[in-house]
Homo-oligomer: A and B are copies of this chain.
Amino acid sequence: MAGNSFGSLFRITTWGESHGPALGVVIDGCPAGLEISEKEIQTELDRRRPGQSSITTSRKEEDKVKIMSGVLHGLTTGTPISLIIDNKDQISKDYSKLADTYRPSHADFTYDAKYGLRDHRGGGRASARETAGRVAAGAIARKILKKKAKVEILAYVKEVREIKASINPDAVKFSQIESNPMRCPDKTAASKMTQLIEKIKKDGDSVGGVIECVIRNVPAGLGSPVFDRLDARLAQAMLSLPATKGFEVGSGFSATLLTGSQHNDILTKRGQKIITRTNNAGGIVGGISNGMDIVFRVAFKPTATIFKKQKTLTNKGRGTSLQMSGRHDPCVLPRAVPIVEAMTALVLADEYLIQKTVKL
C-alpha cells in the first residue's frame, strides 16, 4: 500500500533518502541455497554509481554494499536479506534554500501536497539515489534467473534526443554495451550522443532518450494474467523509475500502423521448440512469456535539474527564481541502464517463483 515494496514472492522493500545516513533494501522471499557475495552485488552497483565518466554526475559516492542478514557462509538462508549502502557524500552542501523553494518538474510540490512536509535535502526520497537499493536487490534476482534458467538481461541506450542508435537486439552483447560510458553498443551513435551530452552540459541544460532492453532465454509461461500480465508488471516497474514517461513492448506504439495480418506472429518450430517467425509481440502474448526474446523500450525525459535560471514558487506560493548549482547528470540514461535491468530481474524472478506453484 504505502508503495515502498515491490514483488510478491521475491519481495523487496527499499528505504532511505538521498542525504540520510544510508540507503537500503530488504529482500523477503529469496530462496535458500543461492550463492551470493557482496562482490557480485557491488559489480552491479558500480555500474549505477555516480562519477563514472564526463557525461555523468561527478558526485562522489562509493556505494559500498554490506550484507546485514540472510546470508551465511556465502549462501542465502531463506530469511530476509538486508543490504545497506552508506551515504558518504551527504553533508557536502547547504540545502537550506531548497527547504522553501519548489524546483520545477521536481517532486518538491507534490511531496508537500501528499505528506504535508518533505525532506528537501537533495530530493529526499524522490531522489534517484533511492534506486541503489533496487540495483542491489536486482543483482540477486538476476543470479537466480541466470543460475536456474540462463536468463540474460541486457539493456542499452537506444536514443538520445534525435540520435538513434542502430542495434540488433537479437545479437547485442554485454561487452559491446559496456565498451563505452554511454552504454550504447552502436559506437558511432555513442560518440554522437556523448558529444551532444557534453554540449548540453556546458549549456547547463539536459537531455533524455530511450533505453531498450532485451531478455533472452525466458522460459515460456511467466506472467500472471489478468492484472499481473508480464508486460503490465514490466510497465509498472519501468514507470516506477524516476524520469520515465513511456513504455512499449515489442512493436509498441508502431503496432498501431499495421493491420492484423501484418502484425500477427506466425507460430512455427525451431527444432523441438515452438517459436514465432516474427516477434511483434516482444516475447509476451496474453501477458505470458512465449519463450521468444522479450524486448521493450522506456522513454526518459530530460533531467529536471538544469543550471539555467528558472522562475518558480516558494512553498508559500510566492514567485521566486531559482539558479541550481552542483553536480547532476545532464542525461540519466547511461546510469539508468543497470537500473532498468535490475527492475526487469525483479519482475522476472518473482514470476519465476510464482510459476513453480501454478501447475499441480
In the complex, the count of this chain's copies comes to 4
With A15-B26, A114-B78 as contacts: A264 and B104 at CB distance below 8 Å? yes
A108 CB to closest chain B CB, in angstroms?
Answer: 8
**Stretch from A43-51, A175-183, A217-225 that touches the partner:** A217-225
A354 touches B245 (CB 8 A): no
Instruction: Tell me if A325 counts as interface (CB < 8 A to partner B).
Output: no
Beyond A2-B29, A6-B227, A161-B256, 4 extra complex contacts between A and B, CB < 8 Å: A31-B359, A208-B263, A227-B236, A252-B299
**Stretch from A54-62, A166-174, A305-313 that touches the partner:** A305-313
A296 CB to closest chain B CB, in angstroms?
Answer: 9
Partner of A221, one of B106, B110, B159, B231: B110
Partner of A302, one of B118, B239, B255, B354: B255
Q: Interface residue tally of chain A, by bracket? A: 35 or more
Which residues of B have CB within 8 Å of A291? 113
Instruction: Tell me if A205 counts as interface (CB < 8 A to partner B).
Output: yes
B313 touches A269 (CB 8 A): yes
With A8-B8, A268-B313 as contacts: A359 and B227 at CB distance below 8 Å? no
Which residues of B have CB within 8 Å of A208? 255-256, 258, 263
B227 touches A5 (CB 8 A): yes
Which residues of B have CB within 8 Å of A72? 117, 119, 124
Most buried by B among A107, A246, A263: A246
Partner of A231, one of B203, B229, B237, B239: B239
Partner of A288, one of B13, B105, B114: B114
B1 touches A354 (CB 8 A): yes
